[in-house]
Chains A and B, each alone.
Chain A
Amino acid sequence: MTKQEQLQQILRELKQALPELRSVVVASVDGLPIVHDSSDAPRVAAMAATALGLGRRISQTTELGSLEETIVRGNHGYFVVYAAGEKGVLAVSAPAGANLGLIHLEAREFASRLARTL
């Protein structure tokens, strides 16, 4: 399998594990989409990289250690950005009422798989 195919496979498995997700975008830390199922991937990838970069800086400045995720919660749902190693970002969006604990549990695991593959 090529790297791209492996990443596609991880994306499919994540969607199976968390069917309530609205969309998933894997991007480089400089904001370019790598694999995704979003109709708005370029924009979401850039915003995910910005959220991660800013989150990392805040985490560092406020002595929280290395960043694990940044959460945006609106009244219609969540947008969560996970660090996937040094190179990657995993961004998922979920509707309001989604099980955030379960999302974290699965997404953190998938983020570390992505980190090893990227």
Chain B
Amino acid sequence: MEPLKVVVSGPVGSGKSTFVRTLSETAIVDTDAFASEPIGKDMTTVALDYGTLRLDGQLLYLFGTPGQQRFDFMWDILTEGALGMVLLVRGDRPQDFPQARRQLDYLLSRQAVPYVVGVTRQDKPPVWGPEEVALYLGQPSEYVVGLNATDPKSAVKPLLRLLELML
């Protein structure tokens, strides 16, 4: 089976780097830099995160993007040749949902591929659940999955759903 390139995107702080770090079975490539603006964390991704894993015999290449709009040229570069996409959004930050929707629309306009929206921080209530976020984003409920990006068993869910949708 051909390796599957999956882009992991979403707003700043949605858990993209954590997601790749949690799931990768090989040494990750990350590009963290000190954040100079208040974004709720010290470091931020400026180029990409990269990791690989094998899922049901399928080799997946994960490419995480930076979250900030100013790095949208990296969104273009990393989505090239992608066969699937996971868009992460923090379930406890509904103020990020409009940005997540714009980002999803933008990425799909560049590369129309199967995608799953992952709603992170499900382990930290109060948090919006996947059904509520699906309604908000106007997405079919099967395209939206809840997860905790720090837990491998939970973080793998959007990828399993993506594989299901791609069959």
Contacts and interface: CB of A to CB of B under 8 A. Distances in A.
B37 A30 contact: yes
Nearest to A54: B47
A86 interface: yes
A53 interface: yes
A57 to B, nearest CB: 5
Contacts of A86: 34
A56 B31 contact: yes
Q: In the complex, which range does the number of interface residues on chain B fall in?
A: 20 to 34
B70 A42 contact: yes
A47 B66 CA distance: 12
B46 A29 contact: yes
Nearest to B43: A30
Interface residues of A, number: 20
Contacts of B73: 43, 46-47, 50
A87 interface: yes
Contacts of B33: 29-31, 49, 52-53
Interface of B: 29-37, 44-48, 66, 68, 70-71, 73-74
Q: Is the interface of A mostly helix, strand, loop or mixed?
A: helix
A29 B37 CA distance: 11
A50 B30 contact: no
Given A30-B34, A31-B33, 20 more contacts: A29-B33, A29-B36, A30-B35, A30-B36, A30-B37, A30-B68, A31-B68, A31-B71, A46-B73, A50-B46, A50-B47, A50-B74, A52-B46, A53-B46, A54-B31, A54-B47, A57-B30, A61-B29, A87-B34, A87-B36
